[in-house]
């Protein structure tokens, strides 16, 4: 376990961009552009020159997530550094939906939820199964937040509160 050679397509690394949707004390949440998923990652997986803000665009390189042989087991570790500055990462499948899978990144490195089209496997995924991929650290692409994206997040949160309060009133 913990070997990038376990990947069949690990050398097929693509460039991705995302937008920061939440900045917490211990991690950053990122929506991957193109409806390709959602990630929560600790600060040590990000490179930033400026303070991180909701709405900022970030970029990174990452291979497809591949199913690994066997179950996760009790050891959680990751971070074998390859010569091209990518890191071999492993995770454990924690939730399977019709068109998406959620994974906890091993060693408490974070969480990823991604659509099935971003996964490679010859057999169906199962809960507790190990997955692996290569990725670079996530790089902040600039200091400015995308005002439109921030506005959309605020509108979505406002609608969620309105729906919640409407549902609470109907229950009374």
Q: Is residue 167 part of a domain?
A: no
Over residues 51-62, the pLDDT tens digits come to 888 899 998 888
Q: Is residue 67 part of a domain?
A: yes
* pLDDT value at residue 154: 84
Q: Is residue 35 part of a domain?
A: yes
**Tokens 């949160």 identify what position?**
157
The domain in which residue 133 lies consists of 4-145
Q: How far is CA 104 from CA 99, 122, 129, 157, 169, in A?
A: 17, 21, 11, 25, 36
Q: Is residue 172 part of a domain?
A: no
Domain count, the chain: 1
Nearest to 57 by CA among 32, 88, 85: 32
Q: Is residue 109 part of a domain?
A: yes
**Tokens 């991957």 identify what position?**
32
pTM: 0.63
CA distance 102 to 111: 7
Strands 119-120 and 65-71: parallel
In the chain, % of residues over pLDDT 70: 83
Structure tokens at 103: 């994974």
Q: Is residue 43 part of a domain?
A: yes
Q: Is residue 16 part of a domain?
A: yes
* pLDDT value at residue 94: 92
**Are the CB atoms for 54 and 140 separated by under 8 Å?**
no
CA distance 144 to 64: 29
| Residue 68, φ and ψ in degrees, nearest 5 | -105, 155
Q: Is residue 163 part of a domain?
A: no
The larger pLDDT score, comparing residue 121 to residue 19, is at 19
Over residues 154-164, the pLDDT tens digits come to 888 888 888 88
Query: What CATH number did the domain enclosing 119 receive?
Result: 2.40.50.140
């Amino acid at each position: 376990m913990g070997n990038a050679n376990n990947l069949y397509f690990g050398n097929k690394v693509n460039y991705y961009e995302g937008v920061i949707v939440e900045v917490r004390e211990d991690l950053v949440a990122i929506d991957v552009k193109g409806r390709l998923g959602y990630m929560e990652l600790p600060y040590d997986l990000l490179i930033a020159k400026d303070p991180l803000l909701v709405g900022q665009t970030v970029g990174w390189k990452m291979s497809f997530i591949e199913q690994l042989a066997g179950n996760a087991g009790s050891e959680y570790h990751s971070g074998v550094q390859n010569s091209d500055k990518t890191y071999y990462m492993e995770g454990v499948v924690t939730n399977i939906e019709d068109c998406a899978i959620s994974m906890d990144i091993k060693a408490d490195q974070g969480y990823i939820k991604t659509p099935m089209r971003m996964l490679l496997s010859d057999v169906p995924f199962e809960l507790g199964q190990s997955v692996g991929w290569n990725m670079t650290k996530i790089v902040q692409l600039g200091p400015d937040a995308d005002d439109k994206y921030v506005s959309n997040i605020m509108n979505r949160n406002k609608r969620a509160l309105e729906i919640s309060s409407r549902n609470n009133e109907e229950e009374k």
